[in-house]
A and B are shown apart, each in its own frame.
Chain A
Amino acid sequence: MLELRNVTVNYGSIVALQDVSLKVEKGAIVTLIGANGAGKSTTLRTISGLLKPVQGSILYEGKEIGGLPAHQIVALRLSHVPEGRMIFANLSVRENLLMGAYLRKDRTKLQHEFDYIFAMFPRLQERSRQIAGTLSGGEQQMLAIGRALMSKPRCLMLDEPSLGIAPILVKTIFEKIREINQSLGITVLLVEQNANLALEVSNYGYVLETGRIILHDRSEALRANEKVKSAYLGG
Chain B
Amino acid sequence: MSQIEFLQQLINGLSLGAFYALIALGYTMVYGILRFINFAHGDVFMLGAFGGYYLTPRIMPHFAGNLAPVGVVVVLLLTMILCALIGMVIERLAYRPLRSRPKLTVLITAIGVSLLLEYGGQFVFGADPKPYPELITDRALENTGALTITTTQVAAFVVTFLLLIALTLIVKRTKLGMAMRAVSNNATAASLMGINIDTVVSFTFGLGSALAGAAGILYALSYPSIDPLMGLLPGVKAFVAAVLGGIGNIPGAAVGGLILGVVETFVGGSAFSTYRDAIAFALLIGILLFRPAGIFGKAQVEKV
Q: Which residues of A contact B (CB under 8 A)?
A: 48-50, 69-71, 74-75, 79-80, 82, 86-91, 95, 98-100, 102-103, 133, 135-137, 140, 147-148, 151, 164
Contacts and interface: CB of A to CB of B under 8 A. Distances in A.
Interface string B280-304: 0000000000000000000011011
Interface residues of B, number: 22
- Among A48, A71, A103, A140, max chain B CB count under 10 A is at A71
B194 interface: yes
Nearest to B304: A164
Contacts, number: 76
Nearest to A136: B303
Contacts of B175: 102
B182 interface: yes
B193 to A, nearest CB: 5
14 contacts: A71-B193, A71-B196, A79-B192, A86-B186, A86-B192, A88-B190, A89-B185, A90-B181, A91-B185, A95-B181, A99-B195, A102-B175, A102-B182, A135-B303
A98 B195 CA distance: 12
Given A71-B194, A99-B182, 18 more contacts: A50-B188, A50-B192, A69-B196, A71-B196, A74-B193, A82-B192, A86-B186, A90-B181, A90-B185, A91-B181, A100-B193, A102-B178, A102-B194, A137-B304, A140-B303, A148-B192, A151-B193, A164-B304
A74 B193 CA distance: 7
A74 B185 contact: no
A70 B187 CA distance: 11
A102 B195 contact: yes
Nearest to A45: B188
Given A71-B197, A140-B303, A102 B179 contact: yes
Given A71-B197, A89-B185, A48 B303 contact: no
Given A88-B186, A89-B185, A135-B303, A70 B191 contact: yes
Given A99-B178, A140-B303, A71 B189 contact: no
B185 A50 contact: no
> What are the 9 A-B residue pairs with the smallest beta carbon separation, nearest first?
A86-B189, A103-B194, A70-B191, A164-B304, A88-B185, A74-B194, A102-B193, A71-B196, A71-B194
Contacts of A148: 192
A82 to B, nearest CB: 6
Nearest to B184: A90
Contacts of A79: 192
Interface string B156-190: 00000000000000000001001101101110111
B195 A82 contact: no
Among B181, B193, B197, B303, find the residue whose CB has the most chain A CB atoms closer than 10 A: B193
A124 B90 CA distance: 42
B173 to A, nearest CB: 12
Contact of A98 (B178, B185, B194, B304): B178
Contact of A86 (B179, B188, B304): B188
Contacts of B182: 88, 91, 99, 102
Contacts of A69: 191, 196
B188 A75 contact: no
A136 B303 CA distance: 7
Nearest to A70: B191
B191 A137 contact: no
Nearest to B179: A102
A88 B181 contact: yes
A164 to B, nearest CB: 4
A90 B250 CA distance: 13
A135 B301 CA distance: 12
Nearest to B192: A80
Given A89-B185, A99-B182, A102-B175, A137 B303 contact: yes
A148 B194 CA distance: 11
A50 B189 contact: no
A69 B197 CA distance: 10
Contacts of B196: 69, 71
Nearest to A107: B175
Scoring A69, A74, A88, A98 by chain B CB atoms within 10 A of each residue's CB, the highest score goes to A88
Contacts of A88: 181-182, 185-186, 189-190
Contacts of A133: 301, 303
Contact of A95 (B178, B184, B191, B194): B178
Most B CB atoms within 10 A — which of A82, A89, A136, A137? Answer: A89
A215 to B, nearest CB: 29
B225 to A, nearest CB: 42
Contacts of B191: 49-50, 69-71
Nearest to B196: A71
B293 to A, nearest CB: 14
A45 B181 CA distance: 23
B249 to A, nearest CB: 10
Contacts of B304: 137, 164
